[in-house]
Amino acid sequence: MAKSRYPIPNQEMPGLNYEDHLDDLREFVLLVESLGIKISGTRIARYQSYYQALVEGLDDDEKIFQGISGKIFDNPKTDIQLYVLREVHELMWILKGLKKHLPKGVEEILKQVVGGRDFAALDKDSSSRNTQFELRIASYFCQAGYSVDMSNLTDIVATQDQTTYFVECKRVTSPGALSRRLKEAKKQLKTRLKRFALIPREFGVIAIDVTKVAFKHNGLTLGVTADNTRDIIQDQLKKIDEGLIKSGYALEQKNLLLTWLQIHIPALVINPNQCITRFSSYFVKNEELHGRSAEAFKKLQRVLHIGDVRDKREIPPKTLNFRKEVILPKGTLLGWDEEVLKGMLNSWHLEPRQNKHTVLEIVIDGEKTEFSFFELYLLLPNVSEEDRLKYSNNHMLARAELAARLIYQRSPYENV
């Protein structure tokens, strides 16, 4: 059970509008086509059509992305929005770098990127997404003003002011694969870095996308607030790091600077209801750095945190007004899952269920609304010890007040 409490925010997260997404997609297409790469009929063209439809207020998503219903999409409209958002935000991030600097060899990289299935969760051939991850990491260096070469044996070679970083990029799908690919990357970098230079100027970085290690479905995550989604992902990254420590993995060579773990996943935020994308990083630093290696690590910090810079086009957050009360009118019917409710009231612990499992049905004026196990899971940390004691002693009160609290958690704002 989550230990932290997440106060419901009174502001939406800042973000970009549909037109900004479409503008960046158009710019990405023009750039790619200027390099002689065809976009027509590819997933990139479908993303552009999707955002064109959103801008025009059309409902064409399932026509644009055909043949996907019944696979991973339980709620096609919301799921498609989240999955497209994931892909487009990564392309927008890549575009930011390519506008500042076109890496050597980028043409062959982009040819692979435009291929592949529309969504990563459906892509059985991972080569397109593997290459896209390399471009995602390269964009950090491009945006920071580095000269980048992607035509080398090493995935990324980034140079600035006589300091060069060799970056090996890996996407992994399981803890076992993570261990193998880390060893592989470490071995590759050791052979490519100059070992006996009098003044070391070349340093190694291992970048690993562990999204599917943390989230096996490679799909999306859900949280009661934006901060909740951030912490869910960071907790997964910390668990992966703990697993590496227990396995004895370490960067022994002094010019191997760090292992950079990344998760890139769309997130559905309940309050306020928004679809967002999370690029979350966790840095596992070589603890033996000193001298030139320590200086190189310090210089690298600007690259690692280049994503902290806000997009100037972001819409300022809108202030939201909270509901003052939740009223259950006379005649309201509450259909609790008695086993779940009684188990919770007796121990204040929830036995695992599927997130979608219905724990409560509320019927008001003939209209039925269902609440899921996951919503109850999110509510539980926000029930104080005082209220827990009160509810445990009065189950009738608990049934009504917990129902009202679930309604408020899902819809806490006026006129939203």
3-state secondary structure the chain: CCCCCCCCCCECCCECCHHHHHHHHHHHHHHHHHCCCCCCCCHHHHHHHHHHHHHHCCCCHHHHCCCCECCCECCHHHHHHHHHHHHHHHHHHHHHHHHHCCCECHHHHHHHHCCCCCCHHHCCCCHHHHHHHHHHHHHHHHHCCCEEECCCCCCEEEEECCEEEEEEEEECCCHHHHHHHHHHHHHHHHHHCCCCCCCCCEEEEEEEECHHHHCCCCCCEEECCHHHHHHHHHHHHHHHHHHHHHCCCCCCCCCEEEEEEEEEEEEEECCCCEEEEEEEEEEEECCCCCCHHHHHHHHHHHHHCHHHCCCCCCECCCECCECCCCCCCCCCEEEECHHHHHHHHHHCCCCCCCCCCEEEEEEECCEEEEEEHHHHHHHHHHCCHHHHHHHHHCHHHHHHHHHHHHHHHHCCECCC
- What is the pLDDT, as a whole number, of residue 416? 66
pLDDT, one tens digit per residue, over 148-163 is: 999 999 999 999 999 9
Least confident of 72-81, 95-104, 404-413: 72-81
Q: Is the pLDDT of residue 344 over 80?
A: yes
Q: Is the pLDDT of residue 345 over 60?
A: yes
- What is the pLDDT, as a whole number, of residue 214? 93
Structure pTM? 0.88
Q: Is the pLDDT of residue 346 over 80?
A: yes
Mean pLDDT of 299-320: 92
pLDDT, one tens digit per residue, over 264-274 is: 999 989 889 88
What pLDDT band is residue 258 in, cutting at 50, 70 and 90?
A: very high
Q: What is the mean pLDDT of the chain?
A: 90
pLDDT, one tens digit per residue, over 200-210 is: 689 999 999 99
- What is the pLDDT, as a whole number, of residue 12? 86
pLDDT, one tens digit per residue, over 46-89 is: 999 999 999 999 887 778 886 665 555 666 678 888 889 999 99
Q: Is the pLDDT of residue 192 over 50?
A: yes
Q: Is the pLDDT of residue 196 over 70?
A: no
What pLDDT band is residue 3 in, cutting at 50, 70 and 90?
A: very low
